[in-house]
């Protein structure tokens, strides 16, 4: 909710959290190949200590 003077604006945010398995499946179902999952932008493995989830996929022509 944002209130500015007499004006009130309400918004709703929907947030989806996907696992690496779900993201890989969605990418493959969308036609992407060579789907890879990493735990950082430097290519480190995605595991329980990963700082982030990075997915790289190539759209086959």
9-55, pLDDT tens digit by residue? 999 999 999 999 999 999 999 999 899 999 999 999 999 999 899 99
Q: Which residue in this structure is represented by tokens 């022509």?
A: 61
In a domain, 5, yes or no: no
Residue 21 confidence (pLDDT): 95
Q: How confident is the model at residue 61 (pLDDT cuts 50, 70, 90)?
A: confident
Instruction: Give residue 49's domain range.
Output: 18-59
Q: Give 32's strand partners.
A: 59
Other beta carbons less than 10 A from residue 35's beta carbon: 17
Q: Into how many domains does the chain fold?
A: 1
In a domain, 11, yes or no: no
DSSP characters for 1-44?
-EEETTEEE----------HHHHHHHHHHTTEEEEEEESSTT--
pTM, two decimal places: 0.69
Q: How confident is the model at residue 58 (pLDDT cuts 50, 70, 90)?
A: very high
């Amino acid at each position: 909710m944002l209130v500015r003077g007499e004006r009130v604006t309400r918004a709703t945010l929907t947030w989806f959290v996907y696992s690496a398995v779900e993201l890989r499946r969605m990418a493959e179902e969308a036609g992407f190949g060579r789907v890879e999952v990493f735990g950082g932008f430097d290519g480190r493995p995605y595991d329980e200590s990963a700082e982030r989830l990075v997915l790289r996929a190539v759209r086959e022509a």
